[in-house]
Chains A and B, each alone.
Chain A
């Protein structure tokens, strides 16, 4: 076995030492720091990006909530406007109705009053006429001079009775 020949030990070990030392220096001074820096930079970038994404997501969430709130407000506002407008219109309509109905009832009252007056007047006329006629008839027939007041009173009483019987 050539490996067991002591003559090959020393040169191999010497060159192993030289090469290994060179490789160690290369890796320790140049390669390993470079690789670790790249890995660290990548890790940092990933962390930063994740943090950024989270921040943006939070912002988007905020905007969504604000939007929903404003939408809700607008809806409430609209409802309030509709409600107040309806109240207003209703009040207006009520007022108009009241005014109209007042005017109408006033007119009706007036008309009633006029009717009553006319009726009263007509009734008064009737009583006077009836009293006159009555007095004339009595004086014609009996030649008595009747007291106009007493006649009119008696007629009135009789007329009231008749009107009551009618009514």
Chain B
């Protein structure tokens, strides 16, 4: 039987190498493409006839849009408007990847359960936000690391703390999503393993397999919530970082 971590394995489907770099098409790449197509289908389908009074599908697309637009407006203000497409893309991508990873039976691969993916996104955001900060405020952006109303004696220490906390942003952002996805999927697999071994044992134990099964049902609900919540958290933190860069607190 497959171990609980086997679901995270990346398997090469079409080996590819360009300039010494391995860019093979893997199951991860396939699921990213599925994520992309799902989002496109969702949006094109929802907007195929743009009705004044929207149907369910159109309403869902509009709700996603307005949810992110409102969140961005609330956190980053009107200056953040031009980064809306990026935040919207980010949210939709993570949300779709998380939810597609929850599809049972098909050995669904969760793209966001890989630190390489989450860290790449977080690092991109980190670099991008830092560049925006420097473009907007020039060298004055460094004042961001100096707390305004702190005693002078404490400043050196506080600046170090601020810098470390700033540098650790991409790590906390990526690990949060990664760890949540890994933990949830591992737990589901572990309980799934219990169900199988108990059922295989036969007799009274087979009847007892209903208990871990019930756990799986409950956990699946919880994981669906986590999938949406983590996409939201990732997007909202991105907005907060963006706001820091635009307005320096």
Taking the closest CB of chain B, its distance from the CB of A38, in whole angstroms, is 4
For the side of the interface on A, what is the size category? Answer: 35 or more
Contacts of B54 in A (CB 8 A): 38
How far is A27 from B44 in the complex, measured between Cα atoms in Å? 10
B23 engages A10 (CB within 8 Å): yes
How far is A17 from B22 in the complex, measured between Cα atoms in Å? 14
Q: Number of contacts between A and B (CB, 8 Å)?
A: 121
Q: Which 9 A-B pairs have the closest CB atoms?
A: A28-B85, A15-B29, A8-B10, A19-B32, A31-B43, A9-B116, A38-B50, A2-B9, A35-B65
Taking the closest CB of chain B, its distance from the CB of A12, in whole angstroms, is 5
How far is A160 from B111 in the complex, measured between Cα atoms in Å? 154
B-binding residues in A (CB < 8 A): 1-5, 7-17, 19-20, 22-24, 26-28, 31-32, 34-39, 41-42, 45
- Whether B236 sits at the interface, judged by CB under 8 Å, is no
For the side of the interface on B, what is the size category? Answer: 35 or more
B21 engages A12 (CB within 8 Å): no
Q: Which residue in B26, B39, B85, B93 is a CB contact (below 8 Å) of A8?
A: B26
How far is A15 from B62 in the complex, measured between Cα atoms in Å? 28
Contacts of B182 in A (CB 8 A): 3
Say whether, besides A7-B22, A35-B62, A12 and B47 are in contact (CB < 8 Å): no
Contact with A along B57-97 (1 / 0, CB 8 A): 01001100110000000000000000011101100110000
Contact with A along B16-46 (1 / 0, CB 8 A): 0000011111101100110110011001100
A16 engages B120 (CB within 8 Å): yes
How far is A131 from B92 in the complex, measured between Cα atoms in Å? 152
B65 engages A39 (CB within 8 Å): yes
Say whether, besides A15-B28, A39-B66, A20 and B93 are in contact (CB < 8 Å): yes
